[in-house]
């Protein structure tokens, strides 16, 4: 598999604090990468750099070998990178269809009328909801506020899939979700890969990561400490040791929360 995205020697300072220290990180075509690390390890910063939320202090980003300049979230979207945050970045007052097409609404009729093509939007939205596995008959005109957390994540994933984002970044997508909803989101992620998309999956719950990813990358104190862990050949305990940097004995001595 070739690299879809490659971040090379990325360093990021917040004032005097070095949040990322010469990090190189890649995602291959049709690959789900689990990005793990303790609080403050640099996961969020790395994702913010890739999604255009913050600029890197140094380093470069390549997409399919070509260097790109990502300075904003719209730059990232234009380069095929879509980020789905915990709150899904949806407008809760708007309908599913209106959210899916926000910023890229299809129009119908004379240009000066600026009229949205509701028929197309509703039809495509219904198809997408089925495609990401929502079997419940939810009208595409339903406001996002009326959906469950898992359904909201599904809408965000559906949006990324529809606009052919090459890379979908999921930042803690299973936080605050119930068991069934979490299962649904994990299925959506597998479905995205099966449809030809690559994903970066960030979650505190290592069990969720192990269920869907092809490869695990671990960050600790702003550096990559492991970048090719195969979840089929490694145990959760081993990965936890890498994340914390502790020995077996040290980890065993930690208080249980």
Partner 1 sequence: MALAHETHSRDVPADERPLLRRLIAKPEFGPLVLLVVLIVVFTAINPNFLSPLNVSNTFPFTVEFGLMALAMTLLMTAGEFDLSVGAVFGFSAVLMWTLFNQGLVPLPLAFVIAIAVAALIGLVNGLFVTRLKIPSFLVTLGMMLVVRGTALFVTDGFPQRTWNAGDQWIANLLVGDFYIGPFRLYMSLFWFILAAVIFWYILNQTKFGNWIQAAGGNPAAARARGVHVDRTKLILFMLCSAMAALAGVISSIRTSAANPNSGTGYELEVIAMVVIGGTALMGGRGTIVGTVLGVFILRLMRNGIVMIGVPGLAYNIFIGAIILGMMALHYGLERRNHAGN
Stretch that binds partner 1, among 22-30, 100-108, 219-227, 232-240 (CB under 8 A): 100-108
Sort 53 into a burial class: Cβ within 10 Å, 0-12 / 13-18 / 19+.
Answer: middle
Residue from the set 22, 143, 225, 244 that interacts with partner 1 by CB under 8 A? 143
Give which of 5, 51, 65 is closest to 29, Cα–Cα. 5
Cα 126 vs. chain centroid, distance in angstroms? 23
The reply on whether position 211 binds partner 1 by CB under 8 A is no
The reply on whether position 119 binds partner 1 by CB under 8 A is yes
Residue from the set 11, 73, 86, 175 that interacts with partner 1 by CB under 8 A? 73
Q: Are strands 17-28 and 3-14 parallel, antiparallel or unpaired?
A: antiparallel
Residue from the set 11, 142, 234, 244 that interacts with partner 1 by CB under 8 A? 142
The reply on whether position 195 binds partner 1 by CB under 8 A is no
Which two structure tokens, joined as six digits, stand for 27?
A: 């995602």
Which residue do the tokens 């600026």 mark?
A: 114
The reply on whether position 103 binds partner 1 by CB under 8 A is yes
| Contact in structure between 198 and 2 (CB atoms under 8 Å) | no
| Contact in structure between 197 and 161 (CB atoms under 8 Å) | yes
The reply on whether position 94 binds partner 1 by CB under 8 A is yes
How many positions of this chain bind partner 1 (CB under 8 A)?
Answer: 40
DSSP string for 154-220: HHHHHHHHHTT-SEEEEESTTTT--HHHHHHHHHHHHHHHHTT-EEEEE-S-HHHHHHH-SEEEEEE
The reply on whether position 114 binds partner 1 by CB under 8 A is yes
The reply on whether position 58 binds partner 1 by CB under 8 A is no
Of the two residues 152 and 208, which places its CB atom closer to partner 1 in the complex? 152
The reply on whether position 102 binds partner 1 by CB under 8 A is yes
Site residues (CB under 8 A) for partner 1? 73-74, 77, 89-95, 97-98, 101-105, 107, 113-116, 118-119, 121-123, 125-127, 137-143, 145-147
């Amino acid at each position: 598999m070739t690299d879809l995205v490659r971040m090379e020697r990325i360093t990021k300072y917040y004032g005097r604090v070095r949040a990322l220290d010469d990090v190189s990180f890649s995602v291959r075509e049709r690959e789900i990468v689990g990005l793990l690390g303790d609080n403050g390890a640099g996961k969020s910063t790395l994702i913010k750099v890739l999604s255009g939320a913050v600029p890197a202090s140094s380093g470069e980003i390549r997409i399919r070998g070509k260097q790109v300049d990502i300075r904003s979230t719209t730059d990232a979207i234009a380069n095929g990178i879509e980020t789905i945050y915990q709150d899904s970045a949806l407008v809760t007052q708007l309908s599913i269809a209106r959210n899916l097409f926000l910023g890229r609404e299809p129009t119908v009729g004379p240009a000066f009328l600026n009229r949205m093509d509701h028929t197309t939007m509703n039809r495509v939205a219904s198809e997408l909801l089925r495609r990401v596995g929502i079997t419940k008959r939810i009208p595409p005109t339903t406001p996002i506020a009326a959906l469950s957390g898992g359904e909201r994540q599904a809408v965000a994933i559906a949006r990324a899939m529809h606009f052919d984002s090459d890379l979908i970044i999921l930042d803690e997508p299973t936080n605050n979700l119930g068991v069934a909803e979490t299962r649904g989101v994990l299925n959506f992620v597998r479905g995205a890969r099966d449809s030809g998309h690559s994903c970066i999956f960030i979650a505190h719950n290592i069990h969720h990561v192990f269920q869907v990813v092809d490869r695990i990358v671990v960050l600790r104190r702003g550096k990559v400490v492991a970048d090719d862990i195969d979840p089929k050949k490694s145990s959760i305990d081993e990965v936890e040791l890498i994340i914390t940097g502790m020995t077996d004995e040290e980890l065993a001595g930690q208080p249980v929360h």
